């Protein structure tokens, strides 16, 4: 099915009138981020992004498209796995009794518009981690149950994208409620779930034409032409056999251990838990915050920092993401979004780091 570009505002109006909070892409501080929207005027129309290792910038173009860019620093992760949230608080009464009270997660029916194929793939991985293990995370679950996704297929890749080689893009496979493909005149639309179908109520939908489907195929072919790709060797097994390789030290001479890569990565889920006591000495709140395996404190256990060197921490990140993740979740933890490459202040490129082990093997 197809709808004209001017119907996009109608879609927003319908969602808002149904009580949904609409989250969409918009330009802020020189990047495309996701936040509440009520008007298509807020969308980054006629804007594309330039990305390369350690670089991100936005440019105006002559296109009238709303989604003519690849991605920004955020994915869906912050909407579901909050960067900081209170889990519970404890109080001591005047009689000395201590009580605990769980903090209920704040939720509101929400629709995210404009998520990319890599974002949807990453959300499915986080679903596995937070919802499909022995212990279900109630905070993630509450938000996930109230989130619907209107994804938009990518029209062109950033220099740092490699989702085609991980099998996660550039077009959405499954996991979204509605998938849009932006054409010159409007949007091809595909409702993938009953909830997605409900979101489209009130739109004037037309049958898609042969020419529109051909335009969509050509967009897909263009977005699949990605400069970067994962190396073709058996990464999962190879990394475990290269634990003492000097390459880890060479990469570590550049790495700042800043953790930017893990913050922007849509699948990373490491966190720390901290208690924040009140000044009255009688109450305390317990918080969960995003943490990074690049921080020294993250591997501190019983008086010892297990991974004191940057080389050990980079090795931990890469071997988890591309090797042991397979054992935990049946696939790698990388969806090829390229964010860790773009947002690394020194431009360390994960595809190059992996390729390094292939080259070494051939030496």
Q: Which residues bind ligand SF4 (CB under 6 A)?
A: 255-261, 264-267, 294, 321, 334-340, 344-346, 348, 350
Q: Give the nearer residue to ligand SF4 in terms of CB position, either 212 or 316.
A: 316
Q: Give the nearer residue to ligand SF4 in terms of CB position, either 196 or 338.
A: 338
Distance, in Å, from the CA atom of 322 to the CA atom of 236, rounded to the nearest integer, reads: 6
Q: DSSP secondary-structure letter at 206?
A: B
Beta bridge partners of 286: 88, 275
* SS3 category, 324: helix
Q: Give the nearer residue to ligand SF4 in terms of CB position, either 51 or 216.
A: 51
Cβ 122 to ligand SF4, closest distance in Å?
6
* SS3 category, 240: helix
Q: Give the nearer residue to ligand SF4 in terms of CB position, either 15 or 261.
A: 261
CA Rg, the chain, in Å? 22
Cβ 126 to ligand SF4, closest distance in Å?
11
Cβ 321 to ligand SF4, closest distance in Å?
5
Cβ 158 to ligand SF4, closest distance in Å?
11
Q: What does residue 60 show for φ and ψ, rounded to 5 degrees?
A: -80, 145
Q: What is the dihedral of CA 111, 113, 116, 122, to 10 degrees?
A: -20
Cis peptide upstream of residue 326 (ω within 30 degrees of 0): no
Cβ 236 to ligand SF4, closest distance in Å?
14
**What crossing angle do the helices spanning 310-319 and 247-254 adopt, rounded to 10°?**
110
Q: Give the nearer residue to ligand SF4 in terms of CB position, either 123 or 188.
A: 123
Distance, in Å, from the CA atom of 149 to the CA atom of 178, rounded to the nearest integer, reads: 6
Q: DSSP secondary-structure letter at 54?
A: T
Do 224 and 164 form a contact (C-beta atoms < 8 A)? yes
Cβ 164 to ligand SF4, closest distance in Å?
12
Distance, in Å, from the CA atom of 266 to the CA atom of 264, rounded to the nearest integer, reads: 6
Q: Give the nearer residue to ligand SF4 in terms of CB position, either 109 or 345.
A: 345
Cβ 316 to ligand SF4, closest distance in Å?
11
Cβ 56 to ligand SF4, closest distance in Å?
13
Q: Give the nearer residue to ligand SF4 in terms of CB position, either 43 or 125.
A: 125
Q: Give the nearer residue to ligand SF4 in terms of CB position, either 82 or 230.
A: 230
Angle at the Cα of 263 (from 134 to 295), degrees rounded to 5? 85
**Residue 29 corresponds to which tokens in the numbers above?**
């501080």
**Residue 209 corresponds to which tokens in the numbers above?**
């034409």
């Amino acid at each position: 099915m197809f709808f004209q570009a001017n119907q996009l505002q109608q879609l927003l109006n319908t969602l808002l009138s149904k009580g949904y909070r609409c989250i969409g892409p918009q330009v802020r501080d020189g990047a495309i981020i996701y936040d509440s929207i009520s008007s298509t005027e807020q969308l980054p129309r006629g804007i594309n992004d330039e990305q390369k290792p350690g670089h991100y910038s936005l440019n105006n173009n002559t296109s009238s498209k709303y989604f003519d860019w690849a991605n920004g620093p955020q994915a869906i992760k912050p909407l579901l796995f909050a960067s900081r949230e209170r889990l519970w608080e404890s109080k001591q009464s005047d009689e000395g009794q201590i009580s605990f009270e769980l903090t209920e997660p704040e939720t509101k029916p929400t629709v995210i518009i404009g998520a990319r194929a890599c974002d949807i793939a990453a959300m499915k991985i986080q679903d596995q981690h937070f919802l499909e293990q022995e212990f279900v995370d109630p905070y993630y679950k509450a938000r996930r149950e109230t989130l619907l996704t209107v994804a938009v297929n990518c029209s062109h890749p950033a220099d740092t994208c490699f989702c085609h080689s991980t099998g996660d893009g550039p077009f959405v496979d499954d996991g979204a409620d509605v998938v849009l493909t932006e054409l010159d005149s409007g949007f091809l639309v595909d409702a993938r779930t009953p909830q997605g179908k409900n979101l489209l109520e009130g739109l004037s939908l037309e049958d898609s034409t042969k020419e529109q489907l051909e335009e969509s195929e050509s967009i897909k072919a263009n977005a699949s032409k990605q400069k970067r790709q994962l190396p073709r060797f058996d990464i999962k097994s190879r990394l475990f056999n290269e634990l003492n390789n000097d390459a880890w030290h060479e990469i570590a001479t550049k790495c700042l251990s800043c953790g930017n890569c893990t913050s922007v990565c849509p699948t990373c889920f490491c966190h720390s838990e901290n208690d924040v006591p009140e000044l009255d000495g009688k109450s305390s709140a317990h918080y969960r915050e995003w943490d990074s395996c690049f921080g020294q404190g993250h591997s501190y256990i019983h008086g010892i920092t297990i991974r004191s060197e940057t080389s050990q921490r980079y090795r931990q990140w890469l071997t988890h993401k591309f090797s042991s993740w397979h054992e935990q979740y049946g696939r790698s933890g990388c969806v090829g979004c390229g964010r860790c490459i773009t947002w690394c202040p020194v431009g360390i490129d994960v595809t190059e780091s992996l390729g390094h082990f292939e080259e070494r093997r051939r030496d």
